[in-house]
Amino acid sequence: MQRRRAAILALLATTQLIGVLDFSIVNVALPSIERQFDLPPDQLQWVVSAYALTLGGFLLLGGRMADVFDRKLVFMVGLMVFTAASLAGGLAPSANLVFIARAVQGLGGALLAPTALALVTAEFVERDERNRALSVFGTVAALGFTAGVILGGALTGFAGWRWVFFVNVPIGLVALIAAARLLRPRPRKGARPRLDLAGAIFATAAMVALVAGLSQVTAPSGGWLRAGAPLALAVGLLAGFVAVERSAADPLAPLGVFRLRILTGANIVAGLTIVVASTLAFTLTLVVQRVMGYSPQLTGLAFLPAGLGGVVGGTVAGFGVRRAGFRWTSVAALTALATGTVVVLGLGVSGSIVWLAAGYGLAGVGIVGTVVATTIAATSTLDGNRQGLAAGLLITSQQVGGAVGAAIAGVIDAPANLSSFEISLVVAIAIVAGAMAVASASLRAAVGRPASAGDASGEAA
């Protein structure tokens, strides 16, 4: 039994890993894809944006499907879609087909990511056991970004850009076979809730508009003007989503869940942390390559300490939550993130690659430590029938955080000089301070049982 559960955790962590890995591994291959299809910059960004739009747009729906339908089925469907789209992306004879494959990959990821997290919380029920499992899950997933930078450089350099897509195929096929054997179907007991299609349409459209608007902020000319329309549309669609959820019999995201202080606080802290992580990744990549003059392969190696720091942060955070609780573990992790960023700002960007790598390594401790702590906090507040919702909300917050971070870094770093990079890091430190304030105020130890679906809907106290 213990071997089976360890194998399940390895399976779920691996599928989460390939989702994160796919983001960074494709970024490294962008110049090769640009040369292959002779793409202008405004079209090349769709290799990234097509994935981000569908992933961010369908996460809440994917999380809700994990609660309404059998999670094994939803997980395997998501894995099949992601794997098939990876194969199609590698074989694509034109840029447009690459864009379509990336969009379908995002759709598969939107089913896969929240369902995998919900399956972890369903398989590991006892509190300390669940915390350890979530610590491993979050740490392995966090390694995907650094691994993607290194692996993407190697695959693109030695085998060609198509292999950044093909690498997902054997992993996906092995994971499908393992899922079929290890996961047990668990149909929902009692009446199945209706799927809130109206809420799903509004939520998906709002997230697509939001991510699309943020991706336009860094456009070469008129970025803010081009971003204004989709951002305004996102606000309107979010208002429509709230109106729909107030009257829905089985809402996609019961508005009552946002009255749960720990859940809301965990989502805000997680989102702000990923804003900083995205800002750091974008800024430091440019610093190392444009200011210091290192190659993409050496840039990946310089970021290796961040991956190792992430392992330390995730491991310590799981232990810290058990001993000190959500609040102090998150504050300690955020302190490590702020300190690492200060080291990078004060000693790294001025020209020392050693100090930059060391500071980023400490920041990696803080990033993954905070992600693990907020994941445990967010999933502890709702009962088993709402774990898909908890996972969907958390990953959506992180996805929005990533888009906001990239937009902030792109706007500030637009002159691509040392001064602009330093301003970006100062903004990151200020955001960490805000995350600390939210964590201190909201992530206090939960008392009593997790909220049920009725509690979350505001139907019971």
Decide if 19 is inside a domain: yes
Q: Per-residue pLDDT tens for 52-74?
A: 778 888 888 898 888 888 899 99
Indicate if the pLDDT at residue 448 is higher than 80: no
Flag whether 245 is in a domain: yes
Q: Return the HEC string of the chain.
A: CHHHHHHHHHHHHHHHHHHHHHHHHHHHHHHHHHHHHCCCHHHHCHHHHHHHHHHHHHHHHHHHHHHHCCHHHHHHHHHHHHHHHHHHHHHCCCHHHHHHHHHHHHHHHHHHHHHHHHHHHHHCCCHHHHHHHHHHHHHHHHHHHHHHHHHHHHHHHHCCCCHHHHCHHHHHHHHHHHHHHHCCCCCCCCCCCCCCHHHHHHHHHHHHHHHHHHHHCCCCCCHHHHHHHHHHHHHHHHHHHHHHHHHCCCCCCCHHHHHCHHHHHHHHHHHHHHHHHHHHHHHHHHHHHHHCCCCHHHHHHHCHHHHHHHHHHHHHHHHHHHHHHHHHHHHHHHHHHHHHHHHHHHHHCCCCHHHHHHHHHHHHHHHHHHHHHHHHHHHCCECHHHHHHHHHHHHHHHHHHHHHHHHHHHHHCCCCCHHHHHHHHHHHHHHHHHHHHHHHHHCCCCCCCCECHHHHCCCCC
Total number of domains constituting the chain? 3
CB 121 within 8 A of CB 377: no
The length of the chain in residues reads: 461
CA distance 392 to 159: 35
261 and 380 fall within a common domain: yes
Give the pLDDT confidence score for residue 440 in this predicted structure: 94
Please check whether residues 340 and 363 belong to one and the same domain: yes
Phi-psi region of 219 (alpha: psi -120 to 50; beta: other; left: phi over 0): beta
User: What pLDDT is stored for residue 445 in this prediction?
Assistant: 59
Write down which residue in 210, 230, 249 finishes a domain: 249
Report, as an integer, the average pLDDT of 257-285. 89
- The reported pLDDT for the residue numbered 367 is 93
Task: Give the domain CATH number at 67.
Answer: 1.20.1250.20
- What is the pLDDT confidence band of residue 158, given thresholds at 50, 70 and 90? confident
In a domain, 55, yes or no: yes
Q: How confident is the model at residue 413 (pLDDT cuts 50, 70, 90)?
A: low
Q: Is residue 192 part of a domain?
A: no
What is the pLDDT at residue 187? 67
The least confident of 7-11, 86-90, 123-127, 140-144 is: 140-144
Helices 46-68 and 2-37 cross at an angle (nearest 10°) of 150
Distances (CA, A) of 174 to 140, 144, 244: 18, 18, 41
- Same domain, yes or no, for 270 and 409? yes
Please, which pLDDT band fits residue 308 given cuts at 50, 70 and 90?
A: confident
Give me the mean pLDDT over the 204-208 stretch. Answer: 86
The pair of three-digit structure tokens given for residue 113, joined into one six-digit string: 């990511």
Integer distance in angstroms from the first to the last C-alpha of the chain? 37
Q: Identify the domain boundary among 215, 230, 249.
A: 249
95 and 231 co-located in one domain: no
Supply the pLDDT for residue 239. Answer: 93
Please tell me the predicted confidence (pLDDT) of residue 427: 92
In a domain, 266, yes or no: yes
> Could you tell me the pLDDT band of residue 47, with boundaries at 50, 70 and 90?
confident
Query: Residues 178, 45: one domain?
Result: yes
The answer to whether residues 424 and 459 belong to one domain is yes
Residue 449: pLDDT band (50, 70, 90) is very low
**Residues 410 and 317 grouped into a single domain:** yes
The reported pLDDT for the residue numbered 454 is 46
What is the rounded average pLDDT for all residues in the chain? 83
Q: Tell whether the model's pLDDT for residue 297 goes beyond 70.
A: no
pLDDT interval class at 286 (50, 70, 90): confident
Q: What is the pLDDT of residue 461?
A: 29
Using CA of residue 85, residue 89, residue 92, residue 94, what is the dihedral sign?
positive
Q: Is residue 438 part of a domain?
A: yes
Encode pLDDT of 346-384 as tens digits.
888 877 889 999 999 999 999 999 999 999 998 888 877
User: Is pLDDT of 455 > 60?
Assistant: no
Q: What is the pLDDT of residue 195?
A: 77
Domain boundaries, position 237: 197-249
Average the pLDDT over each of 139-153, 202-216, 270-284 and give the range with the smallest value. 139-153
In a domain, 190, yes or no: no
204 and 281 fall within a common domain: no
174 and 264 fall within a common domain: no
Name the pLDDT band for 16 (thresholds 50, 70, 90): confident
Q: Note whether 212 and 96 are same-domain residues.
A: no
Long-range Cβ pairs for the range 346-354 (8 Å, 24+): 348/287, 349/287, 349/291, 349/418, 349/421, 349/422, 349/425, 350/418, 351/291, 351/292, 353/288, 353/292, 353/294, 353/302
- 242 and 264: one domain? no
Task: Report the percentage of the chain scoring pLDDT > 70.
Answer: 88
Mean pLDDT, residues 294-308 taken together: 77
**CA–CA distance, 285 with 421 (Å, rounded to integer):** 10
Most confident of 116-120, 145-149, 253-257, 282-286: 116-120
425 contacts: CB under 8 Å, gap ≥ 6: 279, 280, 283, 341, 344, 345, 349
Task: Flag whether 61 is in a domain.
Answer: yes
Q: What is the pLDDT of residues 79-136, one digit of tens each?
A: 999 999 999 999 999 999 999 999 999 999 999 989 998 899 888 877 778 888 888 8
Q: Answer yes or no: do 244 and 261 share one domain.
A: no
Whether 180 has a pLDDT exceeding 80, the answer reads yes
CA distances from 267 to 198, 370, 377 (A): 24, 11, 9
Q: Which of 249, 269, 286 is the C-terminal boundary of a domain?
A: 249
Burial of 201 (0-12, 13-18, 19+ CB in 10 A): middle
